[in-house]
Amino acid sequence: MKTESERNYEHYLGIMNQALDLFNKRKLKDARAAFNKLKNSGILEFQNKAEVYLEIIEEILSARRTKVEEEPLEKAIRLINEKEPEEALQVLDSVKDEDAKIWYLRALALTMLDRTDEAAEALKKAVSMDRRFYFLSRKEPDLFPLWDTGKLENL
């Protein structure tokens, strides 16, 4: 028999999965609504991830209002989700912004390419700029291989 806490966690895990699916399908307004539910979940893991995704969604929606062309951040996320890390790195290299999200996405792409030294440095930089990326990285399946290398022990 599951406890109330376990049922609550499973409920919000389902919302997280739904939100990520909506995000990946570019249904950003629906994804935003789902991530907003997670912000009020009372579960730090989901709250942190929701805040980051909500920031990304707002940036994408804001850029769409001013530009028709896909923004670099949106394009890099799409390429990572489509398992095209080399192309994602090319896009990220074109971004001049020193933003934690950019470094986190670089860590994802570099890990997918098995460039673990560079990936570890990129993730360390992202975490040093925004501690929430530590918590996100611990739950991100694409970064599990990086954590397994032992290169992040002092993170």
- Chain segment 5-35, per-residue pLDDT in tens: 889 899 999 999 999 899 888 889 899 999 9
pLDDT at site 65? 62
For residues 79 and 151, state if they share a domain.
yes
Q: Of the residues 67, 85, 109, which one is the last residue of a structural domain?
A: 67
Q: Which domain holds residue 9?
A: 1-67
For residues 74 and 33, state if they share a domain.
no
Q: Cα separations (Å) of 78 from 3, 70, 129?
A: 37, 10, 23
Average pLDDT over residues 40-63: 88
For residues 63 and 77, state if they share a domain.
no
pLDDT at site 59? 85
Question: In which band, very low, low, confident or very high, does the pLDDT at 68 lie, cut at 50, 70 and 90?
Answer: very low
For residues 119 and 146, state if they share a domain.
yes
For residues 106 and 48, state if they share a domain.
no
Q: Report the predicted TM-score, pTM, of the whole model to 2 decimal places.
A: 0.61
> Per-residue pLDDT tens for 90-125?
999 988 778 899 999 999 999 999 999 999 999 999
Please give the Cα distance from 36 to 116 (Å, whole number): 33
- Give 66 or 56, the one with higher predicted confidence: 56
| CATH code of 119's domain | 1.25.40
Please give the Cα distance from 47 to 53 (Å, whole number): 10
For residues 100 and 63, state if they share a domain.
no
* Number of domains observed in the structure of the chain: 2
